[in-house]
A and B are shown apart, each in its own frame.
Chain A
Amino acid sequence: MKAKDLKEIRLLPPLAISRLGNSPEPINNYDLVVPEAEPLAYRQIVPAPTLVVDEATGRIAAREVRPVTFKDGEGRIRPLAPFLELWGRTSDEDEWQHLTAADLGGSELRWRVRVANIKAFRRTGDPHDRIEADSGWFSDHTRRELRGVAENFLTGKFIPFGHIQFIDPTAEFPHIRARFTPAHGYVYGSSPFSRNANGSYVTTSNGYLVPDPNIHDVVYDTARGKWFGYDEVLPAAKPQPPELTIPPQIYAGQSGKAENSWVSMGYLDDECDGTIEVALTVGKRELATFARIGAGPPAFAPDSLPIRTVYDELEQALLGAEIAPDDYTIEELQQATEEIIRRAFETIRLMSTTIMNGNAFRGQVDIGSTMVRQDANDAARAFEPIMAPTIVDNLAVRTLHQNIFTSIKSGVPPWFVSVLRKFDEIGDLTDLGRRKMPGMMRNADGRHLCLTRRQREKIRLAANRLVLPQEEEKSR
């Protein structure tokens, strides 16, 4: 392939997730594998070839299978640092290939990363509270720190959002890729000493100031910005002020003078999201593309996956909620159904179902933050457990779901489509409505969780087409 033949370039994956950690060693690569003879077991974390980057040279030093641990020898969490690969195609056909240095001979390649953390801005509305990092365009292989700065920061201060490095292709590893390494996961603040909600300093009995132990560094200038002291007041028996986040008051704070107030302590974190851009100049032509990256906390149960994921959202946005007849084979629909049920019991396995159901605990009721409580709080619905209290022990719920999974494996058409909550049934807080699936969990709108319409449709179609397999054969 020659660079001048390229029609389009693309960065893959289009949305890469990184996860915070303060170890200098990122997580080694692994696969999640369900053991063949034990289909109900946890996914096994099986070490897979890891690309070892020499940060000084920006070259890949080795490709080797290494043991997988999520904390290093010193107890620090290993960050998850994704590679992003540059792919290209030379025709309109969907024939993409991972580009190498040789492919790009004679062209000029540039990268740029822009990430931001605007959590404070989302609350205060002050544009000077936007914390942004911009690597500027670069073509070399130096590891670049992404320094998050804001107008309202103290002079010279920044929050490190991690690093970007354009990997230097070598004869052994000729492919074009970059690596994003997220931040360490520290809390930054507005004051070296603890302060009260009214702004006064906390003092010891003999008058000394108390250092704020939570802060890694003081970056925010309280003289310029209002993030410290920002207050969301929720008037009783009134709707919450409509511009607030839902839920509101989800920042580190303390009660203030007003009733139901929550005064910000001015804390910030080093999460971010943004874009990684590539521009390729071939002669007079420029090809450009970008991908998105985000930095979140680790997945603390790495062998389990959530029921409704960002992928499901993107897939539905891309392909629609309806499924065209030849979008999937029966086998693919069955696998999709199996995967959803597997994720359901993976979630259940790690969830205290008796508490989430609203069961009493040692005689106390309303003991946890549950959907039962939410329904009572938001709508004054009768406070009562969602399912019969006797049948919701984790073991029973898990077993039931595992048996549904097992049945699906036999090739039986899924029979439970109608108990999967539809997104427009969230207002149904009757016993029957609340017992629909997925159960006991919260949805984007604050009511009980639903699958995406497309997920649900996959299950419905799996049911539909399994009954009459010839439809499938004829459609092929």
Chain B
Amino acid sequence: MKLTPKNQTAKQLLHRAEGNPPSTLPDSAIANCYPGLEFDFRNVWRRIFVGIVMHEADSYVVGVEDARYASLQGCRILKVDGNDMTTILRGPRVANGPTVELAVPANPDAAWFMEWSNSLSRVLHKAGSTVTCEFTAQPSDIQRRPDWPDTQTVELEIRRFFEPDSPVIARALVDPGDLTQSLCSPWQNDYRECACYYWASSRPDYVDVGTSSKGLSAGFNWMDHDRSLDTPVDERVYLPDPRPRTPTDPTWITYDQLFQEWQTVLQFIVGGKDQG
């Protein structure tokens, strides 16, 4: 690798300070996925346009800091530098049915906002200069399709992501508290059921897994109290979490337990197994 100043800077992001375990590094932290665990990293994008504040996960203008942009309050961003910020949901309504636009009452346009991080990677190099941004002309509670006709166009400055020549996220982009603000309060709150497992590696789901005599995996739900490595593999069953229907079922670690004694009830999983 040729050591350009920039990729040298990138390497500093992975600098292991003496004595620091690898889990202190950002490559152990869940990213711009759904609200992660360490951060809801989507918050880095709220102030990416100088003068307005965006929703961390949506096309919605939540605040205006520069009066010139007052007309953007509550509007939806549709295009940045010519790139669509939303897409259309398409798929079958019924199994094996034709592919159609998937509009629903809450989303009559079938439009869906695409994540900031990948979308804006196309314009971040223009930080410090302005780009043309297209918004809905009117405030909108509804997501709008990229070709929405009634629009307003403004030139907005892209804020610098990092401090100059540095790998530190810029002061002006993120205030203390911003990166964790949209996580659960307390963090345990969605811990049981938020099962869209981009985060299995830090919040395991399927543990003590062995190979059953059916040639299939067999293991337990991490939230299942009644699990033991002494259970023969063939008898291990992953029980899907029944919450919210039976939130106090004693089979499961309850929310009260997660609030009070998570340190006791949650077990570390090493090598896929409960660490004894």
Q: Do chains A and B touch in the complex (CB under 8 A)?
A: yes
> Would B106 and A240 count as touching, CB distance under 8 A?
yes
Q: Mark A348-388, 1 if CB is under 8 A from B, else 0.
A: 11111111100001000001111100110011111010000
Closest to B272 in A: A349
Closest to B97 in A: A382
Which residues of A are found within 8 Å of B74, using beta-carbon distances?
Answer: 242
Q: How far is the CB of B240 from chain A (nearest CB, A)?
A: 4
Which residues of A are found within 8 Å of B256, using beta-carbon distances?
Answer: 213-214
Residue of B117, B166, B182 most packed against chain A (CB within 10 A): B117
Which residues of A are found within 8 Å of B35, using beta-carbon distances?
Answer: 245, 247, 250
Q: Mark B87-100, 1 if CB is under 8 A from A, else 0.
A: 11111111101010
Partner of A303, one of B42, B117, B175, B271: B271
Q: How far is the CB of A174 from chain B (nearest CB, A)?
A: 12
Q: Residue A140 at the B interface, CB < 8 A?
A: no
Which residues of B are found within 8 Å of A242, using beta-carbon distances?
Answer: 55, 58, 60, 62, 74, 141
Q: Mark B264-276, 1 if CB is under 8 A from A, else 0.
A: 1011111110010
Q: Mark A200-219, 1 if CB is under 8 A from B, else 0.
A: 00000000000001100000
Q: Residue B67 at the A interface, CB < 8 A?
A: no
Query: Which B residues from 1 to 52 make CB contacts under 8 A with A?
Result: 1-10, 12-39, 41-42, 44
Q: Residue A454 at the B interface, CB < 8 A?
A: yes
Query: Which B residues from 97 to 150 make CB contacts under 8 A with A?
Result: 97, 99, 102, 104-107, 110, 112-119, 121-122, 124-125, 141-143
Other A-B contacts than A354-B238, A426-B87, 14 sampled, CB-CB below 8 A, are A22-B263, A32-B22, A121-B181, A187-B259, A237-B104, A242-B58, A247-B194, A271-B186, A292-B168, A294-B179, A317-B121, A394-B219, A398-B217, A444-B31
Q: How distant is the Cα of A271 from the Cα of B35 in the complex, in angstroms?
A: 14
Q: Residue A36 at the B interface, CB < 8 A?
A: no
> Would B177 and A273 count as touching, CB distance under 8 A?
yes
> Would B186 and A355 count as touching, CB distance under 8 A?
no
Partner of B217, one of A32, A274, A299, A395: A395
> Would B182 and A427 count as touching, CB distance under 8 A?
no
> Would A313 and B32 count as touching, CB distance under 8 A?
yes
Query: Which A residues from 219 to 274 make CB contacts under 8 A with B?
Result: 237-243, 245-247, 250-252, 267-269, 271-274
> Would B115 and A213 count as touching, CB distance under 8 A?
no
Residue of A301, A308, A346, A355 most packed against chain B (CB within 10 A): A301
Given contacts A300-B266, A315-B13, contact A378 B196 (CB under 8 A): no
Q: How far is the CB of B207 from chain A (nearest CB, A)?
A: 7
Q: Which 5 A-B pairs have the closest CB atoms?
A: A116-B177, A429-B91, A274-B176, A296-B38, A442-B196
Q: How far is the CB of B268 from chain A (nearest CB, A)?
A: 4
Partner of A442, one of B87, B105, B198: B198
Q: Residue A16 at the B interface, CB < 8 A?
A: yes
Query: Which B residues from 52 to 96 make CB contacts under 8 A with A?
Result: 55-58, 60, 62, 74, 84, 87-95
> Would B39 and A346 count as touching, CB distance under 8 A?
no
> Would B12 and A14 count as touching, CB distance under 8 A?
yes
Which residues of B are found within 8 Å of A32, using beta-carbon distances?
Answer: 22
Partner of B260, one of A13, A214, A430, A438: A214
Closest to A123 in B: B185
> Would A294 and B38 count as touching, CB distance under 8 A?
yes
For this complex, 14 residue pairs linking A to B, each with C-beta atoms less than 8 Å apart, are A83-B20, A187-B260, A237-B105, A239-B141, A247-B34, A250-B185, A272-B176, A292-B174, A297-B187, A298-B202, A308-B31, A356-B195, A381-B93, A427-B88
Partner of B104, one of A351, A379, A424: A379
Q: How far is the CB of A18 from chain B (nearest CB, A)?
A: 7
Q: How distant is the Cα of A203 from the Cα of B91 in the complex, in angstroms?
A: 51
Which residues of A are found within 8 Å of B143, using beta-carbon distances?
Answer: 239
Q: How distant is the Cα of A117 from the Cα of B142 in the complex, in angstroms?
A: 30
Given contacts A294-B180, A444-B115, contact A301 B141 (CB under 8 A): no
Partner of B177, one of A115, A313, A395, A438: A115
Q: How far is the CB of B225 from chain A (nearest CB, A)?
A: 16
> Would B177 and A132 count as touching, CB distance under 8 A?
yes
Given contacts A14-B12, A351-B205, contact A85 B121 (CB under 8 A): no
Q: How far is the CB of B222 from chain A (nearest CB, A)?
A: 8
Partner of B41, one of A247, A310, A353: A310
Q: Residue A304 at the B interface, CB < 8 A?
A: yes
Partner of B187, one of A296, A378, A445, A446: A296
Which residues of B are found within 8 Å of A445, using beta-carbon distances?
Answer: 57, 112-115
Q: How far is the CB of B127 from chain A (nearest CB, A)?
A: 10
> Would A311 and B197 count as touching, CB distance under 8 A?
no
> Would A296 and B37 count as touching, CB distance under 8 A?
yes
Q: Residue A17 at the B interface, CB < 8 A?
A: yes
Q: Residue A460 at the B interface, CB < 8 A?
A: no
Q: Residue A84 at the B interface, CB < 8 A?
A: yes
> Would B25 and A13 count as touching, CB distance under 8 A?
yes
Which residues of B are found within 8 Å of A454, using beta-carbon distances?
Answer: 121
> Would A130 and B177 count as touching, CB distance under 8 A?
yes
Q: How far is the CB of B16 from chain A (nearest CB, A)?
A: 8
Q: Residue A473 at the B interface, CB < 8 A?
A: no
Q: How far is the CB of B119 from chain A (nearest CB, A)?
A: 7
Q: How distant is the Cα of A308 from the Cα of B187 in the complex, in angstroms?
A: 20
Given contacts A267-B259, A296-B29, contact A350 B121 (CB under 8 A): no
Q: How far is the CB of B64 from chain A (nearest CB, A)?
A: 13
Partner of A213, one of B125, B196, B260, B275: B260
User: Which of A100-108, A322-330, A402-410, A463-471 lies at the binding interface?
Assistant: A322-330
Which residues of B are found within 8 Å of A303, using beta-carbon distances?
Answer: 270-271
Q: Mark B221-260, 1 if CB is under 8 A from A, else 0.
A: 1100000000000000010110000000000000110011
Q: How distant is the Cα of A443 from the Cα of B57 in the complex, in angstroms?
A: 11
Partner of B31, one of A69, A313, A353: A313
Q: How distant is the Cα of A84 from the Cα of B12 in the complex, in angstroms?
A: 12
Which residues of B are found within 8 Å of A453, using beta-carbon distances?
Answer: 118, 121
Q: Residue A19 at the B interface, CB < 8 A?
A: yes
Closest to B264 in A: A75
Given contacts A318-B9, A454-B121, contact A85 B18 (CB under 8 A): yes
Which residues of A are found within 8 Å of B169, using beta-carbon distances?
Answer: 14-15, 292, 314
Which residues of A are found within 8 Å of B187, using beta-carbon distances?
Answer: 269, 271, 296-297
Partner of B2, one of A16, A326, A346, A355: A326
Partner of B102, one of A76, A302, A429: A429
